[in-house]
Structure 1
Amino acid sequence: MSDAETPPDTTPTPGEQGEDDFEPVEVFPESTEMDLRPGADNCYKCTSCDVSCPVAEVDDEFPGPKFQGPEQWRLKRKEDASVDDSIMSCSNCMRCDDACPSGVPLSQMHNTARGEYVDEDMDKLSREYIRNRILANYGTLAELGSMFPRLTNAIMGNSLVQQINEKVLGITAEREFPAFATQTFREWWNERGGPQVRSEDKRVAYFHGCYSNYNTPEVGKAMVRVFEEFGYEVVVPKQRCSGTPMFANGMLDDAKRAAGINAENFAGLIPEGYDIIASCTSCSMSLRQEYPELFDIDGLEDISEHTYEAMEYLRIHEDLDSALADASVSEQSFAYHAPCHARNQGLDRQAVELFRDLDGVTIEDVGDSCSGISGTYGWKEEKYDKSMQIGADMFDHMEHADGNVGMTECPTCSMQMEHGTGYDIKHPLQLLEEALV
């Protein structure tokens, strides 16, 4: 086992309410009876979840997480009713989990309800289903697009193509499609010959996710270089998408296949002393919480217990404050946004706390509002305006902050920040690389 063992932690992590609450549900049971989750009975209708919901704030037709969670389960138990189609308006930000004072597994209920609705009630030939399936499987699209990145970027950046995508598929033409890198992270990794540091004691397996591989390999490179600077052996197993966009679109069969492949490639490394590191907070949330909640696959519990966000891991196992005390960077001012999935893991202040005393850096937290894009939610034509309304508070705070460069750990939040303000966006790992490597 690595020297960087997980310290004892008696505080429940977000989504972890007790010893029995991480039991996976059977999403598509053979019987018609649905697993209602005992946690539904813990809801006493305080509406804290509804108050915290960014979608309910801007969408008068969305009934909110309390209805989508415990009330819908109770209705099914009494009347065997179908899942209400409003479940597809949930953005999967998971803020309701944080807000609930009684440990109701709201996001697990929402994920399961979306899966049942898509499986049983959605027309598989409808524009909505086809569009959602494409967005949910971005990794497949990105793998194809990255084969000819310059051509793909030219085609997807064409305004006529964007208008066709909106008319035919319902993918908004208001957003610029993210550019594919001319060299993926994995291509760079293979070209450099894999790990440059070997260690028996300090070992991590990098879960880079789709976006850092195909679109922003500079984030993955920064992660590798920073960890190697601290003496870690970094390995990069074969992997599939974490499943986050699949959960959000009710494509749970797709997510289960991806989870199985990731379990096969990562779980076996844990007994060899490797912990799992993600540079995207949605990826770490998926591996930590959603996998063990939804799927009964060998290895997922171990993966959940050994998964960390990258900077979180370094703050636990290394003295980053001392390392940065003698460091300096060129003068930079940042407007930092904490992603919802960072907040759900208790990581919302880590970048501000880490960099506020770094010589050359001014960093300002732009508030606790949701960015509004929520992965694929803000890419849907009918959700675009709502996503921008949700993000308006963040945009306003960014524009009034001293910095004109944004910072966040989430790639889709990064898209929304750039889209709403025009600012360049950095990942905290890139600043850490600049300071230490």
Structure 2
Amino acid sequence: MWRKMIMREKVKLEKKLGEYLEDVWKCIRCGFCNSVCPTSTISRAFMASLTSRGRLILLQAYFSNILDKSLSDEKIQELMEYCFGCRRCMEVCPPGVRIPNLIWRVKQFNRERSYLRRTILIRYGSMLKLLSSVSSLSNLLLHSYIGKLLLEVVAEISRDVDFPTFYTSLEKWINKREKRQSHRGKLAYFIDVFTNYHEVDLGKKIVGLVENLGYVVVAPSQREAGTLLLEEGLIDEAYRIAKENTENLYSAIQDGARVLTSSPAA
């Protein structure tokens, strides 16, 4: 019964991976990816399965019927979570294995079973905008024991997580300001989440700096970069957000602006 369930799971995952299934077998186990993977040194007691190559070998074992475990196994999910899509591995891989794209789809396969978590993460940007609009209440709730316990139960976010402080958004601050005259041109600021809601003072300093250089700064309608959604395997949702952001920024470019961002995720 257990083996039949795993076989059905494999068939579904093969369809989900599509062309990326070939990448599982492209891996020649050279280990070049490990030399640049940030998680290769994350454990004091080195474990090969925590590395970039280790995740590929695990998938090879899974599709070769050597690994008699479901991908929903807690330990396997944990190993996949160590990949956060930095793409360093793609720069050094001789056969060109698209490791992040592959891992995202494995995560996507697992996430489809957790509807509530998916719903919360898909609305992540909207939730941040709401929390920022009532920042004092949000900070009180997110730093309280009850608030952390509720998030752990509902969204599977550990109560040990320290949440950053919320402020009124930088986007709102920029759009409320009196428009300045520019002699060097206009910049459309793609802010992204952390600067927009948490490190607002940093964003204000960036705006002040480029204004002193003679530019005027505008903040087009925008959503988060979608990096978190990719890391969580919510690929379709991340692409929709990217399309929306691209269209809004393109409108600003057509209006004569150039794009400015301080987000490494962008």
| TM-score of the aligned structures, taking structure 1 as reference length | 0.48
Conserved? CA contact 1:70–1:106, under 8 Å: no
Aligned to 2:240, the other structure's residue is in SS state helix
Aligned equivalents of 1:209 and 1:169: distance in 2?
Answer: 22
Q: 1:152 aligns with which of 118, 131, 138?
A: 138
**Separation in 2, partners of 1:177, 1:75:** 36
Task: Please tell me the residue identity of whatever aligns with 1:141.
Answer: M
Does the 8 A contact of 2:62 with 2:69 survive in 1?
no
Show the counterpart of 1:361: none
Encode CA deviations 1:336-374: one digit per residue, 9 max, x unaligned.
xxxxxxxxxxxxxxxxxxxxxxxxxxxxxxxxxxxxxxx
Residue of structure 1 in register with 2:115 after alignment: 124
Q: Which is further off, 47-56 or 138-147?
A: 47-56
Q: Alignment identity in percent? A: 24
> Does 2:163 correspond to 1:180?
no
- Which structure has greater helix proportion? 2
| Corresponding residue for residue 113 of structure 1 | 106
**Structure 2: runs of 5+ lacking an equivalent:** 1-11
In structure 2, distance between residues paired with 1:266 and 1:37: 34
1:38 and 1:274 mapped to 2: Cα distance? Answer: 42
Distance 1:90 1:102, change over 3 A: same
CA distance in 1, matches of 2:252, 2:155: 41
Q: Where does 1:3-152 land on structure 2 (aligned, <5 Å)?
A: 34-36=18-20, 43-57=27-41, 58=43, 60=47, 62=49, 64-69=51-56, 72=59, 84-85=71-72, 86=76, 88-94=80-86, 95-101=88-94, 103-119=96-112, 122-124=113-115, 130=117, 133-135=119-121, 137-152=123-138
Find the aligned partners of 2:97 and 2:160 in 1 and give their Cα distance: 37
- Find the counterpart in structure 1 of residue 176 from structure 2: 191
Cα distance in structure 2, aligned partners of 1:275 and 1:42: 40
Alignment of 1:20-419 (within 5 A): 34-36=18-20, 43-57=27-41, 58=43, 60=47, 62=49, 64-69=51-56, 72=59, 84-85=71-72, 86=76, 88-94=80-86, 95-101=88-94, 103-119=96-112, 122-124=113-115, 130=117, 133-135=119-121, 137-167=123-153, 169-181=155-167, 183-194=168-179, 196-199=180-183, 202-282=185-265, 284=266
Partner Cα distance (2:185, 2:64) in 1: 50
Q: Deviations over 1:181-203 (max 9, x none)?
A: 1x321221122134x2435x644
CA gap 1:234/1:78 in 2 versus in 1, 3 angstroms: farther
* Contact 1:241–1:258, Cα closer than 8 Å, also in 2: yes
The 1-side partners of 2:92 and 2:210 are apart by: 34
TM-score by length of 2: 0.74
Moved over 4 A (4+): 37-42, 73-79
C-alpha distance in 2 between matches for 1:82 and 1:91: 20
